[in-house]
Structure 1
Amino acid sequence: MTYWLNDLGIVSAMGIGQDATTTSLNKYNPATPLLTLNKSLSAEQTPLYVGQVQSIALSNNKRINTFIDLALEQIKPTLDKLSHIDKSRIAIVMGTSTSGIHDGEGARKSYESTKLWPDDFSYSDQELATPAHYIAHKIGALGPCYSISTACTSSSKALISARALLNADLADVVICGGADSLCQLTINGFDSLASLSSGLCQPFSSTRDGINIGEGAALFVMTKNKPITNNGVMLLGSGESSDAHHMSAPDPNGMGAQASMEKALKSAKLSCGDIDYINAHGTATVKNDEMEALAINRVFGNNTPLSSSKHLTGHTLGAAGAIEAGICWLLLKDSGQHMLPYNAIKEGSDLADIKIIKQAFKPTLKYCLSNSFAFGGNNASLILGVNVD
């Protein structure tokens, strides 16, 4: 059975929409970063680089819904082709880690100053299922509807879960992906873990010192057997594992990460030599990049080009898996037309031997693997591909 990712709506610090995202890929210059400085989110008012969606003010209420609206508008032409499908056969699966917490923080500030809660604030906006329910309401979907929240693997697992719904014949179409917004909870939470970068994040660099938090959304329209657009990219395989090593630190041996990649290859019926590009999790923390390089080396050696795209988007947490799968989707759909993300850094001497992309080039791609690794040792790998005649 073939699973098709028929269309993509994407929002991040790279821009709004497919064209803006690929333009950011093709014109990226390390001297003019896409991430921006912000100090309002830090409890200490420390200026920090974040992957902010610039066209949407941080004060904007219902911020995560705004991202979802922007992504839905992009895939509307494809959704319009589904009018003949029974609404009970259209499912929604979303990944998120913050849901509407941004609005909760704003409402709390308002209450502290006025002793009144804002009229448009609802506690339910902060529920993890809310992004999925919001989409279902917007498009009238009546099938299975839920969110997955497994930290940084949330939206990768949303795609895996969507495929499972189709395979079980519980839906004919699944709108799947992820959404997260910047908020004080994540900025200060990661700061308390000493995981934030003092500057711009530097994945796989010898000078890497942490992450930059980002925000955004990515939505796919997934079907099985036949594509419903000419832009279809296949979800060929997936792998999941759990380290259970530590609440927030990865297993330094990378065995769980290795297992998720190997399971994805087996699921896709591919060998390591078939993969043309790996979008690494690449958070730019010392421990993650060291672990991931070790795991990739054991599976792929130093033969497969790889990079992290988090210096372009920031770490979008619950939306990261879908946004990074979206970058792979764009690279595959327009194979040979776009620059791969690259990490123009000095490679870390502590890293295993892997083939890090350090300069821009436009390769022809058939298969991409995208890694997502999360708190608690929760790991997920996706393989996307296209038919090449």
Structure 2
Amino acid sequence: MPFWLNDLGIVSALGVGHQQTMQSISLQPKQTLTEVTSLAFEQRPTFVGLVNELPLTASMRFYQLIDLALAQIADTLTGINIPSSRIAVVIGTSTAAIQEGERGRIAHAAKGKWPEEFDYYDQALVAPANYIAKKLAAKGPSYSISTACSSSAKALISARALLSADLADVVICGGVDSLCQLTINGFDSLSSISDEICKPFSGDRAGINIGEAAALFIMSKEQHTKQSIAFLGGGESSDAHHISAPIADGSGAIAAMTMALQDANLTPSDIDYINAHGTATPQNDAMESLAISEVFGKNTKVSSSKHLTGHTLGAAGALEAGLCWLYLAYPEFNQLVCNQVIKDDSLAEIGLITQPEKAVINTCLSNSFAFGGNNVSVVLGHLNESL
């Protein structure tokens, strides 16, 4: 039975909505990251994937990101006539509204009281799922998943499980994370933040840029729009090699990609494009290139989009699956993300897209790998079915 991703609300450093996102990718190598000084210790200049429509000073930016994504899918959801009790919500996040906690702490230290709008509950990881459920009056299951950078990819697989178990007819699924001091300084303490815009799979790569995003899908068993794209399969593994480093032989990633292909009843040659996790850290890119080479060889087109969006952490899986969805839903959108690199002969050879290239995509695989060896791969594509 196919499962359908009927619509997508997408917000990132690439812009708000389908058209802005696709236009930004089509204008490569236009810079989409922003240099800020207000988030890192000692006001160190840091490139981030900032959603420019929302200034960093805006209150409750986390919920505003969700609102921007929800507005894009509102009409499609309204057109699906089902009881509210049959609408579920599954959201991946790693921070929730922790930025509000950071601001509240500073205000409390300065004035001896919390800001009027401060609510500790907003920092709970379940807050984004419950916020969406309340906005939509959805009465089905509602929960968040927090497995670091694989969170929202797992949310898509979890959404499918709810549909398979007949616990819902529609699931709003995806992820959201907003910029905050915790993540930037946390990754900086691991010596993982790049001083420049990150360079996935390049010989001079030096770490990540943190970003923010919201990406929300409407998943169902039924095909509700002409742009509906099939969720063909997903694979999950947990190699538990290290709290923050991937296992060097790529076995966890290989297992996730292999399971995703098996779940989708596809072979490696059926995949037209891979959106790699591609964080631009020395260890991830070495591991992932080895894993992709093992499963797909060097002929499948591969690129990472994190130099355009930043690493959006809990939102990354849904955001990057969302970019795949756009390639599939808009055949005229055929400008693939490319990674201009200095060749690294120590990396396994893969079909990395290193120059602007156009191609019509029918099937995509998207990778998301997280702390603790939590690995997820999802497959999206077309089916020979029509409305």
Does TM, normalized by the shorter one, top 0.5? Answer: yes
Q: Tell whether the 8 Å contact from 1:3 to 1:222 is kept in structure 2 after alignment.
A: yes
1:134 corresponding residue in structure 2: 131
Tell me how far apart the structure 1 counterparts of residues 384 and 311 of structure 2 sit (CA, whole Å).
Answer: 32
Tell me how far apart the structure 2 counterparts of residues 95 and 286 of structure 1 sit (CA, whole Å).
Answer: 26
Matched, 1:205 2:210: no
Q: Tell whether the 8 Å contact from 2:89 to 2:133 is kept in structure 1 after alignment.
A: yes
Which of 346, 362, 370 aligns to 1:350? It is: 346
2:56 corresponding residue in structure 1: 58
Per the alignment, in what secondary structure is the counterpart of residue 105 of structure 1?
helix
2:256 corresponding residue in structure 1: 260
Which of 52, 75, 78 aligns to 1:77? It is: 75
Which of 146, 151, 155 aligns to 1:154? It is: 151
How do residues 23-38 of structure 1 correspond to structure 2 at under 5 angstroms? 23-29=23-29, 32-38=30-36
- The amino acid that maps onto 2:3 is Y
Q: Tell whether the 8 Å contact from 1:22 to 1:338 is kept in structure 2 after alignment.
A: no
Tell me how far apart the structure 1 counterparts of residues 203 and 27 of structure 2 sit (CA, whole Å).
Answer: 25
2:358 corresponding residue in structure 1: 362
1:286 corresponding residue in structure 2: 282
Structure 2 unmatched ranges of 5 or more:
none
Change in Cα spacing, 1:291 to 1:10, as seen in structure 2 (3 Å) is same
Per the alignment, in what secondary structure is the counterpart of residue 75 of structure 1?
helix
String of CA shifts for 1:43-74, please: whole Å, max 9, x gaps: 12110100000110111111110000000000
**TM-score normalised to the size of structure 2?**
0.98
Per the alignment, in what secondary structure is the counterpart of residue 175 of structure 1?
strand
Per the alignment, in what secondary structure is the counterpart of residue 104 of structure 2?
helix
2:271 corresponding residue in structure 1: 275
Which of 78, 102, 119 aligns to 1:122? It is: 119
Tell me how far apart the structure 1 counterparts of residues 11 and 353 of structure 2 sit (CA, whole Å).
Answer: 24
- The amino acid that maps onto 1:22 is M
Matched, 1:48 2:58: no
Q: Tell whether the 8 Å contact from 1:336 to 1:363 is kept in structure 2 after alignment.
A: no
CA-based RMSD: 0.9
Structure 1 unmatched ranges of 5 or more:
none
Deviation at 1:386, TM superposition (A): 1.0
2:21 corresponding residue in structure 1: 21
How do residues 320-331 of structure 1 correspond to structure 2 at under 5 angstroms? 320-331=316-327
Aligned residues: 385
2:296 corresponding residue in structure 1: 300
Per the alignment, in what secondary structure is the counterpart of residue 176 of structure 2?
strand
Tell me how far apart the structure 1 counterparts of residues 334 and 70 of structure 2 sit (CA, whole Å).
Answer: 24
Tell me how far apart the structure 1 counterparts of residues 207 and 275 of structure 2 sit (CA, whole Å).
Answer: 18
1:241 corresponding residue in structure 2: 237
Per the alignment, in what secondary structure is the counterpart of residue 174 of structure 2?
strand
Tell me how far apart the structure 2 counterparts of residues 72 and 16 of structure 1 sit (CA, whole Å).
Answer: 11
% identity of equivalent residues: 58
Per the alignment, in what secondary structure is the counterpart of residue 167 of structure 2?
coil
Tell me how far apart the structure 1 counterparts of residues 195 and 346 of structure 2 sit (CA, whole Å).
Answer: 20
Which of 332, 335, 340 aligns to 2:336? It is: 340
- The amino acid that maps onto 2:340 is A
After TM superposition, the runs of 4+ consecutive aligned structure 1 residues lying more than 2 A away are: 335-338
Q: Tell whether the 8 Å contact from 2:215 to 2:315 is kept in structure 1 after alignment.
A: yes
String of CA shifts for 1:203-239, please: whole Å, max 9, x gaps: 0000001000000100000001x21111100100000
String of CA shifts for 1:184-216, please: whole Å, max 9, x gaps: 000000000000012110000000010000001
Deviation at 1:336, TM superposition (A): 4.6
- The amino acid that maps onto 1:217 is A
Per the alignment, in what secondary structure is the counterpart of residue 279 of structure 2?
coil
Q: Tell whether the 8 Å contact from 1:336 to 1:365 is kept in structure 2 after alignment.
A: no
String of CA shifts for 1:327-370, please: whole Å, max 9, x gaps: 00000111253311100111222100101001122211110000
Matched, 1:88 2:80: no
